[in-house]
A and B are shown apart, each in its own frame.
Chain A
Amino acid sequence: MKEISFRNDVLPLKDKFYRLALRITRNREEAEDIVQETLIRLWDKRNELHEGMESLGFTICRNLALDQMQKKEAQNVAFDPELHETADNGTSPAEMLIAKEGRSIIQEIVEQLPEKQRSIIQLRDMEGKEYKEIAEILQITESDVKVSLFRARQKIKEQYVKLNRYGL
């Protein structure tokens, strides 16, 4: 039977989890904390796991990232409602690009996508996961994954062509 080692089986997953957490939270420190918590939870569950450790890790990581986002949103509403409202007022990808010079156009476009589409793009295009595995990780149906990925890619294509035309 397979032996489960923290160094060899759990720790090597850290970068994949980190990139997903970073895609959702957009904050390196928060993403690092989320990965830490994810790896410890995976290690605690090692006796129950023989296969699917990576998928479970992605699910835990995403749920922790979503919890973190919700907490932040709640704090924004509680402490600074004006800032929260102005943040929602139509900052276009182009304006974001000008504000954050040096970042790639595609990165900016991806970050404008809804969280579910962002996570699916991350798992499919960055981590090379099958639709079935993405569906398991996000706990949705495969067809839901395909629909969300289609919308995300169409949005990326549309925005990318538009921004390239503007010469940004």
Chain B
Amino acid sequence: MDYKYIEQLLERYWECETSLEEEQILRSFFNQKDVPARLLQYKEVFTFPELDKENQLGDDFDARLIAMVEEKPAVKAKRITMWSRLAPIFKAAAAIAIVLIIGSITEKSILKDMPTPVQTDYMAYPQTYRQTDVVTATNNVDNVAVETGIDSIMPLNTTPLANDQQQ
């Protein structure tokens, strides 16, 4: 058998001109049983890497490391678009808007069913409303009550006097 190719590879190996594939060919060649005598002297150079692979850590190392790390659910990288990034903000804004709209509709419907006290006073005492300042009447119901009270008291006060005069 012609070992010229192997010898050439060997020369190139020492010169660091071999590729990884060619170095694998050399390792495979020297790891087989039938190595010619003249090449036997280099056998150990290429069988050494295989022997080195026997240096390994045991299962107890794995168990210890896994216990230390306490493996959590795997991290998953996820592509996020601008829309999906902003979606929570839009959702929150929409939720707030819905609450506000429902709130204002409910408020309007409740107020519509209930007559406002201020308006009732104005309707009951239209003269008083005309006599007093609009702003005062709107903002202060007590003032309205006071003024209307005067009007309503006046006839009562005059009644005893009339009676005295009659007497």
Does A130 interact with chain B (Cβ within 8 Å)?
A: yes
Does B20 interact with chain A (Cβ within 8 Å)?
A: yes
Instruction: Tell me, in angstroms, the Cα distance from A153 to B16 when the chains sit together.
Output: 8
B31 to chain A, nearest CB (A): 13
A3–B74 touching, CB < 8 Å: yes
How many contacts between A and B, using CB within 8 angstroms?
88
Interface size of A by Cβ–Cβ distance < 8 Å? 42
Does B160 interact with chain A (Cβ within 8 Å)?
A: no
Instruction: Tell me, in angstroms, the Cα distance from A11 to B63 when the chains sit together.
Output: 10
A146–B74 touching, CB < 8 Å: no
Binds B, one of A39-47, A65-73, A76-84, A93-101: A39-47
Does B61 interact with chain A (Cβ within 8 Å)?
A: yes
Interface of A is mostly: helix
Interface residues of A (CB under 8 A from B): 1-7, 11, 14-15, 18-19, 22, 32, 35-36, 39-40, 43, 46-47, 50, 104-107, 110, 124-126, 128, 130, 146, 149-150, 153-154, 156-157, 160-161, 164
Interface residues of B (CB under 8 A from A): 13-16, 20, 23-24, 41-42, 44-45, 48-49, 51-53, 55-57, 61-62, 64-66, 68-69, 71, 74-79
Given contacts A4-B74, A5-B74, A128-B20, 8 further A-B contacts (CB under 8 A): A1-B77, A11-B66, A15-B55, A105-B44, A125-B23, A126-B52, A153-B13, A160-B41
